[in-house]
Structure 1
Amino acid sequence: MCKRYGDKRIFNNLNIDFPKNKIIVITGPSGVGKTTLLNIISGIDKEYTGQVIFSKDIGSEKFSYVFQEDRLIPWLTVYENIAFVLKSQLQKEEMKQIIHKYLRLVNLYEDKNLLPKALSGGMKRRVALARAFAYESDILLMDEPFKGLDNDLKKQIMDEFLQIWNENKKTVILVTHNIEEAEVLGHYIYKME
């Protein structure tokens, strides 16, 4: 794969494999192309040469994405923000069970009727994680999901993330510039320079 922004070359003949059902961490300094890589993998960015190939057993190549920003819909409750991405996939009762399951896993069940403006930054990150895992996808992309959290809250949310991952073992591609996060979470770590 090759990628340029004008005269700036981001990737030149990048070749990388991501093992299925593992947590792969991509680390490196700001501006090196980590988010660009996620956007290419997900199909958000189509302006590159080369190709992204999925193994035949991946299936539908559906993605969940935890962006750097929370991207919660401000006029919807916590419950409704998760339901929003599930409506086209599930019947009402099954959707309710799945939402409640993930809200319990991230310790937000009691807060399910709050609007995003009533949530702390850490609570918003947990809603984003619950929403990404609840959505039936093959690959979970995470872009700096713990950015801006204090150490205690980051550890708590990372523990919750690993608990959720252990239940369904999705392929996760996680971008961070934090080496500690990479070492704690990653089965494989790629460093971009």
Structure 2
Amino acid sequence: MKNNCEVQLINLCKSYDGHKVLSNLNMNIEENKITVITGPSGCGKTTLLKIISGVEKEDSGQVLLKDNSISYIFQEDRLLPHLTVYQNIAFVLKSTMNKEEMDFLINKYLDLVKLLEHRDKFPRQLSGGMKRRVSIARAFAYKSRLLLMDEPFKGLDDKLKKEIIEEFLHIHNTDKRTVILVTHDMKEAEVLGDIIYTL
């Protein structure tokens, strides 16, 4: 595996019911960069993230990871409705750290996404944009090397999308991670991507 690579994809193939989605795909994902994968609907972007994360298995080829610690932001927020904002983030942290460290990290990332004052609210009390911010805070609070993001700003109005993208870039500059972000929006790709691949 190349020294500066977090992920290497080698001759990756995946089909569903005889329909080839990915065919002999080769890709190097550099450490601490934001790699954006774009392309039309149905071209295999989400499938690729699922294979990298281990949610799905490739038909053939190899996925080489420098480290198996992965955070995943899905298209939908996937917050647990019976837990507060704080508890939703704590849920993924409690097995890996003590309460003092957990409190510090949760407060740090909620402050970065401007939601600290909403930490005791439940998902039903949040707007769609606020839920997306919680998902971003949760993903960064978990100490992963690799962050997978599947259309994380989809469905947001332009003003809110711009605000959340700015916050995301601020967090990434503060706390470098290797990011693979899927989008069909080329403007979004150009703003966010250090490297852009089109499928």
TM-score bracket relative to the smaller structure: over 0.9
Cα shift at 1:84? 0.4
Distance 1:11 1:72 in 2: 30
1:137 alignment partner in structure 2: 144
Q: 1:99 & 1:11 partners in 2: Cα distance?
A: 37
Give, as a single letter, the amino acid of the residue that structure 1 aligns with 2:21.
I
Deviation digits for residues 10-40 of structure 1 (CA, Å, limit 9, x no counterpart): 1111111111110000001111100000000
CA distance in 1, matches of 2:69, 2:176: 15
Of Structure 1 and Structure 2, the greater strand share is in 2
Query: Is residue 2:186 matched to residue 1:179?
Result: yes
Partners of 2:162 and 2:23 lie apart in 1 by 36
Partners of 2:23 and 2:58 in 1: how far apart? 14
Match of 1:128 in 2: 135
For each residue in 1:76-132, what CA deviation from the matched residue of structure 2 results, as whole angstroms up to 9, or x when unmatched? 000000000000111001100000000000000000000000000000000000000
**Cα drift, residue 67 of structure 1:** 0.1
Question: How much has 1:47 moved relative to structure 2?
Answer: 4.1
CA RMSD after TM alignment: 0.7
- Tell me if the contact between 2:139 and 2:147 (Cα under 8 Å) persists in the aligned partners: yes
- Runs ≥4 in structure 1, deviation > 6 angstroms? none
| 1:18 to 1:47, Cα distance in 2 relative to 1, 3 A | closer
Residue type of the alignment partner of 2:24: N
Return the TM-score normalized by structure 1. Answer: 0.96
- Structure number with the bigger relative contact order (C-alpha 8 A, sep ≥ 6) is 1
For structure 1, the 5+ residue unaligned runs are: none
Count of aligned positions: 188
Identical-pair percentage:
62
Normalised to the residue count of structure 2, the TM-score between the two structures is 0.93
Match of 1:78 in 2: 85
In 2, Cα distance between equivalents of 1:156 and 1:96:
25
Task: Tell me the residue number matched to 1:9.
Answer: 20
